[in-house]
Structure 1
Amino acid sequence: MDDSDYLRLLTSQAEQANAFLSNARKWERERWVCQRLLQGLNIAYHTEDFTQASQEPPDVLFGEARFEVFFVLDEGRRLNDEWREELQRRRSAYSLSQLVRREARPKRIPASKLLQRLGPTLHKKAKNYQERDIDLGQLDIVAFSSLKREVLDLNSHFPPPTEYLRQGWRSLSLVGPTFARVLFAQPDAPDFLRNNLGRSIIFDVGISL
């Protein structure tokens, strides 16, 4: 593969990323996050095993699981804008050298700090759903960490997510490019979540957006 072929491949990948991040494919993104969690937990599944709820929340149904999905991003970062800009950059490039740019190495952060990143979204969701009389105890939260400027120190200790447990969610799982972890699962949560409670799973291949 020569440079021009590789440049076309990079452009095609950016086009696919933009399509994947469109509003029309919101549920497909949410399903992908759930599939990533199941892969980490070594739970077998077929695409047709996932269904879309007639009314949100939840976002994705899988057996007894009622997954509610959200993305954790760097402050001020928008994936749609980021990939739209990247697609334009790749389309306008005439050589691979034009695409080279220096990126600061991500800062390693402890698990405690990553858990804090979940706070704003979980507090907002909890308040919104409670005002709508939606039972938080029927929702299995899955947060996908897609941080660019920070990366989880996989050797750090995960503190008890007491604050989020008190909000009343049925379960809370965290997925990242290279890891998955069930942070807590209530007694009535699906077995596959309770059986993997507190265990960090490292992926062989990292995937990020």
Structure 2
Amino acid sequence: MSQRDESFIRQLRQHAAETLTLLSNPHKTERERMVVRAFLRCIGKAFTDDELLADQREPVDIAFGATRFQITSFIGGRKCVQEWRVRQRRYENAKQSSDVTEPWTASSAVSFQEVSRLVAESLTKKASHYGFKNCSDLDVLVNVDLTGRHLWPLTPGLDARSALVLEKQGWRSVSMLFLPHGAVLATRADAPSFLRDRVGFVLSKWPNCDGWFDA
């Protein structure tokens, strides 16, 4: 193995190990803080990291001022831990860089309307678990991570069915992170003002091409 390949594969092995650690249960709170950081950056809301408070009062995950974030993910049925374990084994067994490279595939578009329907449907079970009263005090934030898909067109607007589903669930606000974009899908009158002010917009305010999650 050449030194270049060895260095490249070593970095991949380290990245896989770090990712699996992050995906473990003890790091749940840090993952949630990362999602909130990325969302606030995408929508252009200033914050300091010490404002993102892990809240011990279930069902609030992260408190940000008066905002009570409940964090969830929509990943299209994938199993991230299993995927990364497979990658880790491939990296560990690699002898050269060609053993770990994958063919390039073009990303396909998914519309805001389609994603909003998926988000609304994915929240049904969680809303049923917490009940309407608890949901009315929560600002749910959905991290959408669909491999090989990108958000386009960016024309916002919930279809009538999605709006009705979210209204029946009772959330104080519903927001979405779909990197590099953040969007507030729906709010009630008592939702935090920075969310109400951004409802109906698909925003990408972070000027960098990475670093959304970094503390």
- 2:184 matches 1:182: yes
- RMSD in angstroms over aligned alpha carbons? 2.2
Q: Does structure 1 residue 158 correspond to structure 2 residue 157?
A: yes
Alpha-carbon shift at residue 98 of structure 1 (Å): 0.5
Please point out which of 201, 206, 209 is paired with 1:205.
Answer: 209
How much does 1:147 deviate?
0.5
Q: How does 1:54-93 map to 2 (within 5 A)?
A: 54-75=56-77, 77-93=78-94
Shift of the alpha carbon at 1:92? 1.4
Following TM superposition, by how much is the alpha carbon of 1:54 offset from its aligned partner in structure 2, in angstroms?
2.0
1:122-174 CA distances to partner (integer Å, 9 max, x unpaired)? 110111111xx742111001001110143321434432541213321100111
Q: Is the 8 A contact 1:143 1:173 kept in 2?
A: yes
Q: Which runs of 5+ in 1 are unaligned?
A: none
Give secondary structure in 2 for the equivalent of 1:180. strand
How many Å apart are 1:41 and its aligned residue? Answer: 2.1
- Counterparts of 1:1-209 in structure 2, within 5 Å, are 2-75=4-77, 77-102=78-103, 104-130=105-131, 134-160=133-159, 161-162=162-163, 163-202=165-204, 203=206, 204-205=208-209
- Secondary structure in 2 matching 1:135: helix
Identity, in percent, stands at 26
> Normalising to structure 2: TM-score of the pair?
0.86
Contact 2:41 2:212 in 1 (8 A): no
**Partner of 1:56: helix, strand, or coil?**
coil
Tell me the distance in 2 between the aligned counterparts of 1:122 and 1:155: 22
Deviation for aligned residue 1:61: 0.8
Q: What residue ranges of structure 2 are gaps of 5+ in the alignment? A: none
State the distance in 2 between where 1:80 and 1:158 align: 33
CA distance in 1 between partners of 2:10 and 2:203 (Å): 35
Q: C-alpha separation between the residues in 1 aligned to 2:4 and 2:153?
A: 37
Report deviation, 1:60: 0.9
Structure 1 residue 42 displacement after superposition: 1.9
C-alpha contact (below 8 Å) 1:177/1:206 kept by paired residues: no
Query: Aligned-pair distance for 1:207?
Result: 7.3
- The residue type paired with residue 79 of structure 2 is R
Distance 2:144 2:81 in 1: 16
* CA offsets 1:162-196 (integer angstroms, 9 cap, x no match): 12133211001110121111112211111211121
* Greater CA drift, 97-106 or 78-87: 97-106
Structure 1 moving runs of 4+ over 6 Å:
none
Letter in 2 for 1:61: A
In 1: Cα distance, 2:113 partner to 2:210 partner: 21
Deviation at 1:106, TM superposition (A): 3.3
Contact 1:178 1:207 in 2 (8 A): no
The TM-score, its normalising length taken from structure 1, stands at: 0.89
Q: Secondary structure at the residue paired with 2:58?
A: coil
Q: Distance in 1 between matches of 2:108 and 2:212?
A: 16
The alpha-carbon deviation at position 96 of structure 1 amounts to: 0.8
CA 166–207 in structure 1, closer or farther in 2 if over 3 Å, else same:
farther
Structure possessing the higher relative contact order (Cα contacts under 8 Å, 6 or more residues apart)? 2
